[in-house]
Amino acid sequence: MTATVFKNARMVLPGEVVLGSLQVDAGRIASVDGGGTSALQGIDLGGDYLLPGLVEIHTDNFERHLMPRPKVQWAEMPALLAHDAEIAAAGITTVLDALGVGEADVDSLRGSAWNRVLDTIDTCTERNLLRADHHLHVRCELPAPNTIDLFEPFHGHPRLSLISLMDHTPGQRQWENIEQARTYYTGKKGWSAEKFERQVAHAATLQAQYAEPHRAYFVDYCRTHGISLASHDDTTVAHVEQAHAEGAAMSEFPTTLAAAQAAHERGLLTVMGGPNVVRGGSHSGNVAAADLARRGLLDILSSDYVPGSLLSAVMRLVQDDILHLPQAVATVTRNPAKAAGMADRGELAPGLRADLVQVHMAELPDGGRQAVVRGVWREGQRVL
């Protein structure tokens, strides 16, 4: 494999943006140099930004392709390939596919077995059919009776990088506002009003019976298997204190400022959604990600349910003078890579994987600017 030079690039480094060149050799970054280059051959980026490949630790996008409508299941391989293409087009070179386990509703995707999906990921990876590097983030719904049983196919899986602990019982955490929960479940899930009321009435019983023993099981699993642990939808300081005591490394989508502050004070990395930044607030009425960024409480951005929101959120934070570009880029590259235990990626630095994204800032008729992904390379090989 011959070396490749990326020249005339505005390279986003950990603390600065430098116009220069980057050389790739055998899938790794060989050198990062400011100024011009004498290399006649190479890829001329024409002054576009060169970013590390984005690292996505929590996206429901694969689930969306597997079940594009309520009760409509799609074939595993077409769903994975479509998801992977969308991920790569967003500049994401490493993705932790978030797959939920545990659901009392038998019609739900998260109440089904994941064996065929895992086999499909392995097959497509082995045959080099995927653009991004795929890993697993298992979202465990603690109050569901079948959570531990449905986790079985993931037990010891080499792609498992993260486990998060969820409790979507209406009346607390994400669904502290019951009406917000009603809108979500009757809208996105297609539940009738009667079904929603039945599920809410039953949810407290399930939580009381299963949440704590299931929580203890997964906390112990993470400790004994060296898997990163995340809490989910922390609302109170007590939620964060419990997660910290259990060894969690991340607080995903804290719903209040108090919870985000508590996470920061205890060393938990705070994860917020890219759509929250782009839309200017949470769709559930919770704390705004931009407000946390202003206070120095935002560590990681996740695309959540819109892959393209990662890059858009980065640019929004910069354009609104909330973060400098290297700071904003770190929330979607270096910080999530570190949180997932991936020390070989996330920066433009010699020795690291040559996962790269070319980003062009297009001028719009209204005077605004739009970030456009023009090229994506994984380990030095162009995938988009």
User: 201 in a domain, yes or no?
Assistant: yes
User: 377 in a domain, yes or no?
Assistant: yes
pLDDT at position 70, please?
79
Work out the number of other CB atoms within 10 angstroms of the CB of residue 2. 7
Pair 368, 320 in one domain: no
Pair 25, 157 in one domain: no
Residue 333 has pLDDT above 90, yes or no: yes
Pair 12, 97 in one domain: no
User: 108 in a domain, yes or no?
Assistant: yes
User: 345 in a domain, yes or no?
Assistant: no
Pair 232, 362 in one domain: no
User: 277 in a domain, yes or no?
Assistant: yes
**In this predicted model, what pLDDT tens digit does every residue of 52-89 receive, in sequence order?**
999 999 999 999 999 998 789 999 999 999 999 999 99
If one counts the domains in the chain, the total is: 2
Pair 231, 374 in one domain: no
Pair 371, 331 in one domain: no
What band does 346 get if pLDDT is binned at 50, 70 and 90? very high
pLDDT at position 196, please?
72
Work out the number of other CB atoms within 10 angstroms of the CB of residue 190. 12
Residue 128 has pLDDT above 90, yes or no: yes
Pair 117, 12 in one domain: no
Pair 116, 220 in one domain: yes
User: 344 in a domain, yes or no?
Assistant: no
Pair 251, 105 in one domain: yes
**In this predicted model, what pLDDT tens digit does every residue of 159-189 receive, in sequence order?**
999 999 998 776 556 655 666 666 666 666 6
Pair 143, 93 in one domain: yes
**In this predicted model, what pLDDT tens digit does every residue of 263-321 receive, in sequence order?**
999 999 999 999 999 999 887 678 999 999 999 999 999 999 999 999 999 999 999 99
Residue 21 is part of a domain; what is its CATH number?
2.30.40.10
| Residue span of the structural domain in which 357 resides | 4-50+350-382
Q: How far is it, in rounded angstroms, from Cα 37 to Cα 20? A: 8
Residue 242 is part of a domain; what is its CATH number?
3.20.20.140
**In this predicted model, what pLDDT tens digit does every residue of 2-49 receive, in sequence order?**
799 999 999 999 999 999 999 999 999 999 999 887 776 899 999 999
pLDDT at position 282, please?
83
Pair 178, 320 in one domain: yes
Pair 278, 366 in one domain: no
